Amino acid sequence: MAEQLKRYQRPVVIAAAAVVFALVVFVAWISPEGNKASQLGAQKAQLQQQAVQLQQQLATLQAEQRTVKANCATLTKDLAEIPTAPNGAEFLVDITNLAHAAGDPNTPSYTPGAVTKGPSGVWEIPGSLSLTGTFGQLRLFLKGLDTFPRLFTVSTISLSGGPVTDGGHLVPDSSPGYTLKLAGDIYYATAGQANICTSPAGP
Number of C-beta neighbours around residue 183 at 10 A: 16
What's the confidence (pLDDT) of residue 5?
42
What's the confidence (pLDDT) of residue 132?
96
What's the confidence (pLDDT) of residue 192?
47
Q: Exposed, middle or buried by CB within 10 Å (0-12, 13-18, 19+), for 175?
A: middle
The CA-CA-CA angle for residues 136, 125, 199, to 5°, reads 105
Residue by residue, pLDDT tens for the chain (203 residues) are 545 444 545 555 555 555 555 555 555 555 555 566 677 777 777 777 877 777 777 777 777 776 766 667 665 666 666 666 666 778 888 999 999 999 999 999 999 988 888 766 678 889 999 999 999 999 999 999 988 888 889 999 999 999 999 988 999 999 999 999 999 998 887 654 454 465 544 44
What's the confidence (pLDDT) of residue 203?
44
Identify residue 59 by its one-letter amino acid code.
A
Q: Is 44 helix (H, G, I), strand (E, B) or coil?
A: helix
pTM surpassing 0.85? no
Q: What are phi and psi for residue 101, nearest 5 degrees?
A: -65, -25
pLDDT in tens, 132-152: 999 999 999 999 998 888 888
Q: Which of 196, 202, 199 is nearest to 72 (CA)?
A: 196
